[in-house]
Structure 1
Amino acid sequence: MILQYNNLVQTQADRVIRVGCIYGNVTNVVVGTGVNFNHELPNNGSTLVNSTDVPRVIMRILDFYTHEEVSETQIGQELELVIEVNSQNDSFDISAGHLIAMTPNSEDSILLLDDRGCPTNLNVFPALTKISVGSVKRLVAAFQAFKFSSSPMIRFSVMLMFCRTECPQVDCGYFSNNRIKRDVLLQDLNANNGTQVKSVKKNYFDKIGKEIVKELPLELVIMVRNPKEITSDKLILGDSHRILIADYDLASQKVCIDYSVFVSFIILWVLVLVILVVTCVCIVRRYKNYYKNLCIQQRSDELNRNFGLGYSNLEKRKVHFGSPSGLEVLD
């Protein structure tokens, strides 16, 4: 059973309560995520300045740390949605809006960005950030992988807009702190009964409509699994399929391991430290005893050499005794 903070999608903040059902034999499914478009801009009576080539548009989802394209991920993994336009023509600008995440059959869906490009829920998906490097323009947003309860497949659909010179800046209110604020879009109207009514300025959307040259739809499909179902290099214990080491990231030097393994490593490390300490204490005590005995032996030898203690100071002498037959020498 899953406790979801969002009634539409599952995120890393959700909590899982095990009831007893275990699903096995998960098949591996890989879906391509690269989408290339060579779409010619229409001729609606106006031309782009110095426009000589056709832009190349790519929509991808990358790993946040390795910047490698992913087609299969798990809930909570750090990802980046990148919309890239490569063209030698620098006379037009891009913006994106109406980003929707849905299941393949479109039964479940959630609006991530509205028509202006403002996020509807910052806890699920943030606003797109525009990055320009030479002839390459990118719209980038970092988010954590989520999924629908009904399907692991997620289809992203977004509307990419081309503007003649520069797309108008959008004020998303408290949703976008890093964007330039423009005029307030809402006007306050007071009714006869004192009720305050909000109305949207029509000239704002008219200005956007005049700047937009072409709208190009983009779609991208990825698979998002639960953390236990992800097919990656991992260490599994016994027949219970208990994951000991779920994943590792060489770039960030992070390892995701089971809690019991972590506790075992700590206990093993403490035991090694205890063994080292006991060994050092034994060696020090043995050295002290050896040094003490050695000092006692050296002092005893020195006293014996100086005063002859512990040894006989009687040297062998020759004694002469007189006898009638002559002189007799005894040792």
Structure 2
Amino acid sequence: MRLDSHYTFPLGLICLACLMPILDAQRPSVLSGGGLRPLLGLTLRQQLQAGQPPVPRFDCSPESTGFELVTGFVFSSPADLLDSQPGTLMLADCLEACRLNSSCRAANYETGLCVLFSADSDHRPGALSSSQFPVFTLYAQKVCLSGHCDRAWDYERVPDFKLKARGQELMKKQRKTGSRTACMELCLSERDFVCRSATYSKDTGDCSLSDMDRMSLGALNAIESENGTDYMESNCVSDPTKLCDFKPLDGKILKTVDAVYQEVATEQDCKNLCLNTAFRCQSYDYNATGAQVCRLSHHNTLTLSQIREPFLAVPDASTKELSACYNVSVDCRAGDMIATVRTSKIFQGKLYAKGAPNSCALDVQNSLEFALRLPYTDLECGVQREAMGRYSTEVILQHHDQIVTASDMGLSVACQYDLTNKSVSNEVDLGVSPDLKHSITQESIVDSPNVAMRVTDRRGESTGSAQVGDPLSLRFEIVDPNSPYDIFVRELIAMDGVDGSEIMLLDGEGCPTDQRIMGALNRASDDQKALVAHFDAFKFPTSEIVQFRALVTPCLPTCQPVICPVVDGTGLFQEIPSLGRRKRRMLNATYEESISNELDDFHSPYFTISTLNDRRFRRDLGAERNEVLPQEEMLLVRSIHISDRFGADKKRDRKLSQDTDFHDNDYKRHRSQQSFEDDEVETPTTESRPVDQQRSATCINLSTVLGAGAVVVGVQIALLIIGAMLFLRKRDASKKLLPQQAPRPSPQQTIFVKRY
């Protein structure tokens, strides 16, 4: 028997009057996962619609029953209300309750409340309305899908939106279907490619399938508005979950989440829950709404671009959003190994063997899966034989085509072959597979240390400015005190901040170019992993900004100092240790030893650049100087403002003698050349040695050679004078002893002199 509307209206009001106090009393707040207003707040017009025709029962086998999810919408139909479950903290639990109830066709979910209905938006289109502020609601509707997957929901629908047009390559297939459910069935059953999303037009029936979605595109506005079109995103896709990078969103948490876990010991445990959950988790927060509370969501900033204010401002809280994940696998074959990378976000960059970014590399253009072949016989690819049947190498995953950034990774890949003897008998099929299957695959990420370079005074306090002659120090240190790495430093250069002129302070082997400008790097007294070199402040003639650049190489577990032959103040050669980079070429080292040293010094491709205000940025040194920067080294940069002392001493300089003026002019003339090399001088801070403070390595070396030559010539002249004086004195003595002088021989005479 069908009830008239004048009977159902009072019945609906009675139900609401009984239910609302219970919901208001048990509904949790937003910070505990709930919303800010009732899901059943119905208008009078909605209450008057309670006399609509009954909805047929949902007829579908349990194996094909799935759910369609719509974010930011609420279903309001009091006559179709089945049950409400306050305190529900899992979206999956809410959907499971609807799945087990044969009368349930739809559900509303906000964190902390689940409401079940016997009707859905297909039969009550007017009952579905936007619900985004002050919190957003998740609406779920039962669907019958032949390609249903074992997930809480099969796909998410965004009404009146489509995937933003970026060329036809995003749309892999296009068909005509009679409904959006049929369109999504095509996506879930697709076998030619991994279907991640589908777009359905209600007007034309066009169904477009794509291998991209909002997460894989990684763009904030990956979808655009279009009336009459439904964008549907699959929840059945298996994303990579091994090497994942999360970015923090500080001061904000989601108003509605999919799952709330309590008594989670650490944030790492919360992260693991996100990576191993039954849905495509895109963000999590920990300790934001309570001690040891972990909240997970399939949403992040990219997927909530159409929602009004989806985040709640909470000071000192942070939401970690998934940036990208990488799964790396190795296929070990007879003569090579193939490293395959599968990503969750389209990758554009290159994959190459460490140290061979051009000769053993793969350029990747907007791909989710790519592979690099590493032949065992190709020396450029650097595959090493570690033991019998074991081969390994390192590959670099670089996002930019030219420079290395912090998001890049170094990966170690290896293959192990079973080469033990085996007995084979009674075999009929003598066919041999061309490729050997790998038995062991290892993969790991190698992180580099964060290294900082600072200019300090001799007490170790950082400074950003100084005057010429001030005693300073250049300090290299690893930021993390618990880092297992040690560091080498080489190719330390001082550059003019204006015209780019430069001098070399430490050469390519890590040895000082001139002891009078800068000595060897030594370990700091307060930190055995920090390196310090002292110098007196100097400046270039065209600028008061002096920029230091150095290449730093990490090594494990410690770095052995290199022995540097240098000239001391007396002009004699001596050998001193320096913690510059280890020499690659040893005089008595064999080829195998040099290869072993290179493997021991495996380095990550990351580098850190430090500026005056301690900000870090990335830069390609080779792009400016036409040099190829080794990928295993770090480039550090530090600038300092150096002012001269001439302004305060002008009056005194006018009173100097002509000889003093000559030397002062000579000093100023040399400064135009010296500033390229004065980086770290160890002269005292007096004004009696300005020439030594400002002279460049090139000029100082030339002066040293000229001075040494002058000394040698002077000594030779002195010896000649002494010899001549002795000869004249001896001749005078001979004249006094002989009574007569022997006759001078004529030109025709031949004289033989016999010496005894």
TM (norm. structure 1) is: 0.45
TM-score after normalising by structure 2: 0.21
Higher RCO (C-alpha under 8 Å, 6+ residues apart): 1
Larger Rg: 1
